[in-house]
Chains A and B, each alone.
Chain A
Amino acid sequence: MGPQHPSTHGVLRLMVKLDGETVTWCEPDVGYLHRCFEKLCESKTYPMVIPFTDRTDYISAMINEQCYVEAVEKLFQGAITVPERAQYIRVLMAEVNRIASHFLALGSNAMDLGAVTPFLYCWRDREKVYSIFERITGGRLLYNYLRIGGVRNDLPEGILGTPEDGEEKADKTFWGFINYLDNYVIPQWDGLVTGNRIFQWRTMNVGCLSAADAIAYSTSGPVLRGSGVKWDLRKNLPYSIYDRFEFDIPVGKENGDCFDRWLVRVEEMRQSSRIVKQAMKWLAETPGETLGKVPRILKPPKGEVYHRIESPRGEIACYVASDGSPNPYKVKWRSPCFTHLQLMPKVGPGHKIADIVAILGSIDIVLGEVDR
């Protein structure tokens, strides 16, 4: 299934051996989108790397930036403090980005199985997020908004909105979008796709992954939680200020299949909306600074740091090694989709070709992240 294929979510080449219609061997061939991210970082200064991190997982760009920026802030070992308002803004943007990324994951998963309408709904709803983010950061898909020490600028006036905002304000204010999400979008996903018999036939008992296998194959995020392991880096290894928020972690059953991962993603959108409401409440009440005191040329002390965060696809981690100069010595980007592709040789064989597409959709890969 070559690099140009409508269902492989980008330029992924899957080499598949077939016996009739059943797959006997399946191996991914990646590297078609390799853009030398790690080598580039070594010739840039620390702030210059932030736009490059956007472009690894271009669907949820804020979360990538958050991983890199927090890793570098840790390298400074307390010399840089991030103001509280900036932390809350980061969480707000990350969670809205998580919701938008799940729209795309669910939409493309449904389209791969033949349902084209949810895919268009996914873009209609993502456009609302793009409009809001454009008012704040200037960018629709790739933002370059987080800075080492805070965020670039404060939220503009009126972007938070009031809890009474309705659907017509969904692309203008955060509250309008959250009300639109809770009252219309999530019930629409449940009503249209989750309860649909054809969808359930195609995803139940397809791509079963036991919890022990999931841990052995280094999966994380919805794939791991869909297999029954209640592990979420926002709760188990709290970073940023996630320990101040109240939210639950949805988990699938022990032998997770594609349907479990779908349900985990839908439920995660509900939980993200809870976090966004709590963040908006704080932000509306408390003004403050959004960028801490940062030296003009950033030269972190010599050291290494490994920072892991929870992205919509799994665990993104950033291993930054510094040798005291303004350029990073080494930035290793641990991408969840790259690690999840190792599941294809394990989970693929035994299924039909059409099920391979369902499994690939439920693992939710983004090739920019796989190849960096």
Chain B
Amino acid sequence: MDFLKEKYPEAQIGTLVNGDTEILVDKKDYESAVRACYEAGYTFCSVLSALDWKDRLTVVASLSRINPAEVGARNIHVKVDLPRTGAHVASIAKLYPGANFHERETYDMYGIRFDGHPNHRRILLPDNWQGGHPLLKDFVDKRPKRPRLVRHRFEE
């Protein structure tokens, strides 16, 4: 974590409840922060997801170390704040091939574009789905509702 403090002195560094470190960087520093973590040994991308606070989106990349001799290593979560419309951020899929599907899922669910992703398509929802991005808090399901069956009341 100290290497991150030196490199980005104005970024906010916090600790999650279970001891993991989180660092909130600017969008322009995101790719270099992730690369710095990679070079410091955090070569395993556990997950890449997003959070939707009502006024902004946050992309979270959770990186960890795989060192069989080490017990109790904590993760680093690299976070970036993005505006709700037109959000786009660099893709780390070339550096961490394991983040490929996670970035596609974050695009699918939140609408965040990842520049440089080799296969930028929806993954869980069908490719031609027009409904928007479901996990956003202001998502409204515009599909036609199926008629509900009405319980038959028997004559007394």
Assuming A216-B96, A306-B18, A306-B75, is B123 touching A236 (CB within 8 A)? no
Interface residue A165 (Cβ < 8 Å from any Cβ of B)? no
Interface residue A162 (Cβ < 8 Å from any Cβ of B)? no
Interface residues of B (CB under 8 A from A): 16-18, 20, 22, 43-47, 49, 51-52, 60, 62, 66-68, 70-73, 75, 77, 96-102, 105, 109, 122-126, 134-135, 139
Q: Is the CB of A306 within 8 A of B16?
A: yes
Q: Which of B16, B98, B125 lies in contact with A218, CB distance below 8 A?
A: B98
> Contact residue range for chain A?
35 or more
Q: Is the CB of A334 within 8 A of B97?
A: no
Q: Is the CB of B17 within 8 A of A236?
A: no
Which of A34, A230, A332, A342 has the most B CB atoms < 10 Å from its CB?
A: A332
Q: Which of B17, B46, B105 lies in contact with A315, CB distance below 8 A?
A: B46
Assuming A215-B44, A216-B96, A304-B16, is B68 touching A230 (CB within 8 A)? yes
CB distance from B57 to the nearest CB of A (A): 11
Assuming A34-B125, A306-B62, A339-B98, is B45 touching A218 (CB within 8 A)? yes
Instruction: Supply 5 further A-B pairs (C-beta < 8 A) apart from A39-B134, A334-B47.
Output: A236-B73, A304-B22, A305-B17, A317-B47, A339-B101
Q: Is the CB of B97 within 8 A of A346?
A: yes
> In the docked arrangement, what's the CA distance between A134 and B1, Å?
47
**A149-180 near B? 1/0 per residue, CB < 8 Å:** 00000000000000000000000000000000
By a CB distance below 8 angstroms, the chain A residues around B125 are 31, 34
By a CB distance below 8 angstroms, the chain B residues around A334 are 46-47, 49
Interface residue A341 (Cβ < 8 Å from any Cβ of B)? yes
Q: Which of A74, A219, A307 lies in contact with B98, CB distance below 8 A?
A: A219
By a CB distance below 8 angstroms, the chain A residues around B60 are 319
CB distance from A27 to the nearest CB of B (A): 8
> In the docked arrangement, what's the CA distance between A118 and B52, Å?
47
CB distance from B38 to the nearest CB of A (A): 10
> In the docked arrangement, what's the CA distance between A319 and B58, Å?
13
Q: Is the CB of B99 within 8 A of A319?
A: no
By a CB distance below 8 angstroms, the chain B residues around A229 are 66, 68
Nearest residue (CB) in A for B136 is A39
By a CB distance below 8 angstroms, the chain B residues around A204 are none
> In the docked arrangement, what's the CA distance between A371 and B125, Å?
10
Nearest residue (CB) in B for A31 is B124
Interface residue A231 (Cβ < 8 Å from any Cβ of B)? yes
Q: Which of A303, A342, A346 lies in contact with B16, CB distance below 8 A?
A: A303
Give 27 CB contacts A-B under 8 Å.
A30-B124, A31-B124, A31-B125, A34-B124, A215-B44, A218-B96, A219-B98, A235-B71, A236-B73, A237-B71, A237-B72, A238-B71, A303-B17, A306-B20, A306-B46, A306-B77, A315-B46, A317-B47, A319-B47, A319-B49, A319-B60, A329-B51, A330-B52, A332-B49, A341-B101, A342-B97, A342-B100
